[in-house]
Amino acid sequence: MSINVGHAAPHFSLQNQNDNTFNLQEHIGKQKLVLYFYPRNESAICTTDVCEFRDHFAEYTKAGAMVIGINDGTIESHKSFAQNHHLPFTLLSDPDNKVLKLFGVKNTWFGKGRETFIIGLDGLIAYKFRIYWKSKAHPKRALEFLRK
């Protein structure tokens, strides 16, 4: 089952790259949330995308948004990935793909899906974007939406 624009964001808690608990409910209403589901740390397209989020991080912040990357990588792999690429945002470890499934992120025949969701201050999905192979599309489209 997929969630769509207008649906309430499913609540979840996951560990971040520093082994701290991130609880979605604690952030709703404080700022917009950009959730970027991506298949793998250090893969070519995913690294290009997260570095694009990094390079425009100030613009996301100016738009009142918090960027959050999510995949099934370990806490240690997220910490290494964040350090290697100087990522200023949160990476969440979803080892059993529970949150991926809650959001209805679709896998492809060759791997985990890549989807971006923006959660508004009201806790509703305000934006949803899915494309697999085109690098920089997720950060670019999310920022365009936030600027509207």
Closest CA to 11 of 112, 3, 38, 88: 3
Residue range 52-106, pLDDT digits in tens: 999 999 999 999 999 999 999 999 999 999 999 999 999 999 999 999 999 998 7
Hey, what amino acid is at 32? K
Tokens coding 55: 């390079």
Query: Which pLDDT value is given to residue 40?
Result: 87
Query: Which pLDDT value is given to residue 121?
Result: 97
Is the predicted pLDDT of residue 111 greater than 70, yes or no?
A: no
Where does the pLDDT of residue 42 fall: very low under 50, low under 70, confident under 90, or very high at 90 and above?
A: confident
d(C-alpha 148, C-alpha 145), whole Å: 5
Query: Which pLDDT value is given to residue 109?
Result: 57
Hey, what amino acid is at 126? A
Residues labelled catalytic: 46
Q: What is the DSSP letter of 88?
A: -
Length in residues, the chain: 148
Query: Which pLDDT value is given to residue 138?
Result: 78
Query: Phi first, then psi: what are they for 50, rounded to 5°?
Result: -65, -30
Q: What is the DSSP letter of 106?
A: P
Is the predicted pLDDT of residue 147 greater than 60, yes or no?
A: yes
Query: Which pLDDT value is given to residue 108?
Result: 65
